[in-house]
Structure 1
C-alpha cells in the first residue's frame, strides 16, 4: 500500500498493508481528530486536486502554499542564499511543477522543519532534491516515516548554511525550532518562526501556545525565555507559518511587546 497521508494534518506514514489505526500527531493534545473521524489520502490523490501557489515575500524569500487549502494550511518558505537554497517547513503537496521550479532556482541544499505538525511529506522532498532534512532530536518520536535523509540535530543551535542557523526554542514542542536568516530583511536579518512564535492577524503581535487548536497556553516564564533567546539575535522581520502572517518592520519590538502582554494577562487572570 502507498504511503498514506493524514487528511487532517498532512503527515505521511511509512508504507504498510493498511492505513494506521490512528494518526499519533492528531491524537496528541496539540492537534485534534475531527469530529467526523480520521481520514486518509495519498500524495497521488492530493496531486489530482491541488496545486502549489507561489508568492515572493522579499528578495530571496518565496512562500509556497497549496490551493485549495489542505491539512493545517501552513506555507513552506524557500530561502535563497549564495551557498544554496533552504526549504523552511514542509507542505504535503510536492508535485512536478514544484520540483521543476525549485530545480530551476538551484535545487535545495537542505530542508529544516520547525516542529512535527509540519513534517508532512518531508521524506518525499528530501528524496526529490537529494537534500538532508534537519529535525531537532527532541522531536524524533513524532517521526511517522523514518528515512536516512533525516538529520537529527541536538543542542540549542545548528548552522545549516552560512547565512542560516537553527535555534531550538521549545514551547509548542520540546524541539520547537526557529531559523535565523542573517541575509533577510535587506541584511538586517529575519526570523522564520513557523508557529513556535505565531504571527497574529494584526501583524503587530505574536502569540505563544502549547496547543493552538486546543487553546492550551504556555507558562509565562517559558514565553519570556523563548522571547529573550530571540531578542538576543540580530533581526528585523519575522515570517510565520501562514499566509500573510509576517511582520516586515519592527519584528523585534513586536516580540518584546507581545511577551510582556502575555505575562501581564496571564498574571491578571490568576490574581485573587
Structure 2
C-alpha cells in the first residue's frame, strides 16, 4: 500500500513524551506490528531507535521541532521497512544496521552503516548487538535525563505485565521461546552496562530497577527451561 493510500486511510504518527528528552512514536490507526519507536535526545543530536512504518510532512515537521534526527538505528529486521525514507527526510541521517542482519536489508543507499558488536551513532548513545530475536538484534543505551541510564530494548528484551520482570522470545506473536543458554548469553551481553529504566518495542516500561530485572528474569527463564521446576507443572 502506498504512502498516499495510508494517509487517505487516516494514518498519522503520534508523538508523546515518555520522559524529558525521550519521545515515543507510534502510527495510528495501528500499522505493521504496532511498534513503538523512540526519539532520544542528546547534546549532539537525536537518535531515532526503530522506525515508524509511515511518514508524512506533519511528522517530519514535529520531529524537526524536537531537534530532528541525527542517526537512525533499527533494533532488528522487522523495523527496516521505512528506514531510508526517514533518513532522506533528515538530510540522509546515517542508518545503523547490525552486519549479522544485513541479508534482510531490501533497500540500499549511502546512508546505510553496518556494525558488528557495538556502535556509537552519537557520542552519548551506545548500540549493542545482543542477538536472540534475530542474530543481529540490538539494544540502545541512552544516558537519560538524569544520567541513570535507559535501555531501549526493541524486541530483544521485553518488559512484561508483572512489574520488574522481562522476557525473551524468538517470536513474540508465535510464543516461540529461546533456549536457556541464549537467554543467559543475552543477559551477559548487557551485564557491563549501567541502566535503571527500560522501554520496550510495544510501549512497555520498567521505570526503575531494569538492570536487576534483566539478570533475575534471565536466570528464572533459563531455570524453568532446564526442567528444574517440572514438578510444579
| TM bin (shorter chain) | over 0.9
Deviations 1:231-256 (A, max 9, x none): 2211100111112x010111111111
SS at match of 1:187: coil
Answer yes or no: is 1:174 the counterpart of 2:164.
no
Contact 1:54 1:63 in 2 (8 A): yes
Contact 1:111 1:132 in 2 (8 A): yes
Distance, in Å, in 2 between the alignment partners of 1:141 and 1:231 is: 28
2:7 alignment partner in structure 1: 47
1:27 alignment partner in structure 2: none
Q: By how many angstroms is 1:271 displaced?
A: 6.1
Answer yes or no: is 1:145 the counterpart of 2:107.
yes
2:182 alignment partner in structure 1: 222
Q: Indicate which of 214, 221, 228 corresponds to 1:262.
A: 221
SS at match of 1:175: coil
SS at match of 2:227: helix
Distance, in Å, in 2 between the alignment partners of 1:265 and 1:229 is: 21
Contact 1:185 1:248 in 2 (8 A): no
Distance, in Å, in 1 between the alignment partners of 2:192 and 2:178 is: 21
1:252 alignment partner in structure 2: 211
2:173 alignment partner in structure 1: 213
1:111 alignment partner in structure 2: 72
RMSD over aligned CA atoms reads 1.6
Q: Indicate which of 150, 158, 183 corresponds to 1:190.
A: 150
SS at match of 2:222: helix
Distance, in Å, in 1 between the alignment partners of 2:130 and 2:37 is: 19
Q: Indicate which of 195, 200, 214 corresponds to 1:235.
A: 195
Deviations 1:135-188 (A, max 9, x none): 00110111122222211112x11111111010000111111100111x215101
Q: Indicate which of 91, 94, 98 corresponds to 1:132.
A: 94
TM-score (norm 2): 0.93
Contact 2:21 2:145 in 1 (8 A): no
Q: By how many angstroms is 1:198 displaced?
A: 1.1
SS at match of 1:101: helix
More displaced 10-residue stretch of structure 1: 260-269 or 112-121: 260-269
Q: By how many angstroms is 1:269 displaced?
A: 7.3
SS at match of 1:91: coil
Q: By how many angstroms is 1:202 displaced?
A: 2.9
Q: By how many angstroms is 1:105 displaced?
A: 2.0
List gaps (5 residues or longer) in structure 1.
1-40
Compared CA separation, residues 148 and 158, structure 1 to 2 (3 A):
same
SS at match of 1:151: strand
Contact 2:223 2:229 in 1 (8 A): no
Q: By how many angstroms is 1:107 displaced?
A: 1.4
Contact 1:137 1:175 in 2 (8 A): yes
TM-score (norm 1): 0.81
Contact 1:43 1:92 in 2 (8 A): no
